[in-house]
Amino acid sequence: MAGPLDEIRVLIVDDDFRVARLHASIVDALRGFRVEAQVGNCADARAAAAAGTVDLALLDVYLPDGSGIDLVAELPCDSFVVGAESGGEAVRRATRSGALTYLIKPFEDTELARRLAGYAHYRRLLAEDDVDQQRVDEALSAIRFGRVGRDRADASSPTETRILELFTGPDVVLFADDVADRVGIAAPTARRHLAHLISAGRLRMTLQYGGTGRPRQEYRLR
């Protein structure tokens, strides 16, 4: 499994390829995270997790060959349940099985980014062999409520200030390449800063579908 300072490797389990792509784009945009595998059923999820290279699974509830909730206790990794099932018993069952959090679809992409940031903070807080009660309480709170990226040293960086200035109103929509060109930075650098601003709750990201290629990420003010 990954150490606390390594990339957090995420398994996405959802049979709706558009939803899976959206979740994957959010994961890949966040610093310290990467998508390890993306599958659409329980059997493939078990196989992907069995390799021992997954730290966190994002599990849909309704899958073609079973329930994502049942997978929570089976997989050798941490899990978030992210599904459309809103029944209280399903939430309780997921919690009993060991799910760290339960997100009901539909939810804003910023909410998933916030919960992932909370998970990273949770891992950092519990990386020590011996922890006190205050650290435990903070770690569990980060998992339950998510975390805005306030702990980043560059939270108010000049580059991110310039990026925010491009979004002059709620109707302004830009792609990462647009931001890179206007600010004068490389596209990967722009995506990293945009991901930071999503995690901080300043921007939101959605996917634009068109043709047969990969969907494009579009950004706007939160």
**C-alpha to C-alpha distances, 17 to 59, 60, 118, 189, nearest whole angstrom:** 13, 12, 25, 27
pLDDT, the chain, mean: 86
pLDDT confidence tier of residue 210, bands split at 50, 70 and 90: low
- Tokens 């890949």 sit on residue: 28
Q: Are 56 and 50 in contact (CB under 8 A)?
A: no
In the chain, ranges of CATH 1.10.10.10 domains: 158-221
Which positions ≥6 away from 99 have C-beta within 8 Å?
A: 59, 69, 72, 79, 80, 81
Domain 8-122 architecture = 3-Layer(aba) Sandwich (3.40)
| Alpha helix stretches (DSSP H) within the chain | 17-29, 42-50, 68-74, 88-97, 109-125, 133-145, 158-166, 176-183, 187-199
DSSP assignment of 178-193, as one string? HHHHHHT--HHHHHHH
User: What is the CATH architecture assignment of 158-221?
Assistant: Orthogonal Bundle (1.10)
Q: Which residue has the tokens 């290279």?
A: 53
| CATH 3.40.50.2300 domain position(s) in the chain | 8-122
Identify how many contiguous H helices and E strands the chain contains and give both numbers.
Answer: 9, 10
pLDDT digits (tens, 9 = 90+) for 138-168: 999 988 887 654 444 344 588 999 999 999 8
pLDDT at 153: 38
Greatest mean pLDDT range, 62-76, 114-128, 184-198: 62-76
